[in-house]
Amino acid sequence: MTARAATTRDESLPSAYSEALEARSIGPLWTALHVLLPQERVTRALPHRWRWAEVRPLLAEAARLVDIEHAERRVLVLCNPGLEGAYAITSTLYAGLQILMPGESAPSHHHTPAALRLVVEGRGAYTTVDGVKCVMEPGDLIITPPMRWHDHGHEGTEPVVWLDGLDIPLVRGFDASWASPMRPACLPETDTDSSEDEFTGAGLVPRRPRYAATGYPQVRWPWRTVRRALASLAAGAPAHEPVVLRHVDPTTGGFPLATMGSEAQWLRPGEATRAERRTAGRVYQVVEGRGESRVGDATLAWEEGDTFVAPPWHWVHHRNLSATVPACLFQFNDEPALRALGLWHEEIESSST
């Protein structure tokens, strides 16, 4: 079901009356009540998949056609086909694929929207978050909290591509989107991030952190660590239980960002998950493997590097199409924002499908 445009004119009323209302910026509620408050949740966003095999050459072409100095951020934005060309993948979330070439750097800025990045391909690039150098290797997650200075650099020899997830549409919904002017990227003050030395073991946090207290103690989750944790969890988990890890602030156990959450899921060979739906919208990046996901009425086949979106309140289940190797999905979402606003709900299908 799709959302309809609201109308504020009641055709059964004298047109002079409707005009009198309109002239005074007044609308009758009774023509719009069930659009404003539908009896089912609705979204214009559609389930959709972007194939890495198709996007990759377009990114390579962008790198040839568009100077980084001109672009500042060389990003191809994934626009949900249901959202009429808006720079939005769901009504609240933005996703784009950013490419940086060897030797390039993208200047520093900060902004009110929060950002996270999941590395898709290539080595040698890094993001600096408030002076902390965060190395980018395939599968790594890096967060850029609101109002933290960040720039991107590249010391390697191959193109690097990552998925950017931001809450731009949500923040714009509050008329709160703002960014600083750009300034040249500067050399990182610290060569390692806290995931390399302070948060290397689950359940352990340093008594005295040596990084500046910013409210965001961990900004990077190396895929190496996440993958190892998923593999251990998968090895011991009963077959019917999904293998999912959430990224958390290790000092609180809460979400690392106030608006966006993220998870990594391991699908065992041949595994088919139970359907569930959430009020959060979800953007998936395929880190490893090949499979298909049912999202509402759509079946989205995917392989490594693909990105796909599950709009809010769509039933979602996944299947690993390999009988021999695992598949790994990264996912980011707007769950923390929904929880903070009292809008979080989820349902899990009781029998497996």
Q: How far apart are CA 172 and CA 323, in angstroms?
A: 44
Burial of 310 (0-12, 13-18, 19+ CB in 10 A): buried
Please, which of residues 179-218 interact with ligand GTQ by CB under 6 A?
A: none
Which residue among 166, 260, 310, 328 contacts ligand GTQ (CB under 6 A)? 166
Residue 79 sits in the site that holds ligand GTQ (CB under 6 A): no
Least Cβ distance, residue 123 to ligand GTQ (angstroms): 18
Residue 73 sits in the site that holds ligand GTQ (CB under 6 A): yes
* Sheet containing 160-166: order of strands: 75-77, 94-100, 160-166, 115-121, 141-144, 220-221
In this complex, which beta carbon is closest to ligand GTQ, that of residue 113 or of residue 256?
A: 113
Residue 45 sits in the site that holds ligand GTQ (CB under 6 A): no
Residue 98 sits in the site that holds ligand GTQ (CB under 6 A): yes
Least Cβ distance, residue 110 to ligand GTQ (angstroms): 9
In this complex, which beta carbon is closest to ligand GTQ, that of residue 111 or of residue 247?
A: 111
Burial of 28 (0-12, 13-18, 19+ CB in 10 A): middle
Which residue among 47, 82, 96, 261 contacts ligand GTQ (CB under 6 A)? 96
From the CB of residue 6, how many other CB atoms can be counted at a distance below 10 Å?
A: 12
Residue 116 sits in the site that holds ligand GTQ (CB under 6 A): no
Q: How far apart are CA 160 and CA 269, in angstroms?
A: 29
Binding letters toward ligand GTQ, positions 133-162, x by CB under 6 A: -----------------x------------
In this complex, which beta carbon is closest to ligand GTQ, that of residue 127 or of residue 265?
A: 127
Least Cβ distance, residue 254 to ligand GTQ (angstroms): 24
3-state secondary structure of 28: coil
Residue 164 sits in the site that holds ligand GTQ (CB under 6 A): yes
Least Cβ distance, residue 179 to ligand GTQ (angstroms): 7
Q: Which two tokens stand for residue 66?
A: 């568009």
Least Cβ distance, residue 15 to ligand GTQ (angstroms): 46
Burial of 122 (0-12, 13-18, 19+ CB in 10 A): buried
Q: How far apart are CA 68 and CA 63, in angstroms?
A: 8
Who's near 156: CB < 8 A, 6+ residues apart?
A: 102, 122, 123, 124, 125
Tally of CA atoms within 13 A in the half-sphere of 223 that contains its CB: 21
Give how many residues touch ligand GTQ by CB under 6 A: 9
Residue 41 sits in the site that holds ligand GTQ (CB under 6 A): no
Residue 169 sits in the site that holds ligand GTQ (CB under 6 A): no
Q: Which residue is nearest to ligand GTQ (CB)?
A: 164
Least Cβ distance, residue 164 to ligand GTQ (angstroms): 3
Who's near 302: CB < 8 A, 6+ residues apart?
A: 49, 284, 286, 290, 291, 292, 293, 308
Greatest alpha-carbon pair distance for the chain in Å reads 73
Residue 110 sits in the site that holds ligand GTQ (CB under 6 A): no
Residue 288 sits in the site that holds ligand GTQ (CB under 6 A): no
Least Cβ distance, residue 98 to ligand GTQ (angstroms): 6
* Residue 334 phi, psi dihedral angles, 5° rounding: -110, 25
Residue 283 sits in the site that holds ligand GTQ (CB under 6 A): no
Residue 104 sits in the site that holds ligand GTQ (CB under 6 A): no
In this complex, which beta carbon is closest to ligand GTQ, that of residue 166 or of residue 264?
A: 166
Q: How far apart are CA 302 and CA 236, in angstroms?
A: 26
From the CB of residue 84, how many other CB atoms can be counted at a distance below 10 Å?
A: 9
Least Cβ distance, residue 53 to ligand GTQ (angstroms): 21
Binding site for ligand GTQ (CB under 6 A): 73, 75, 96, 98, 111, 115, 150, 164, 166
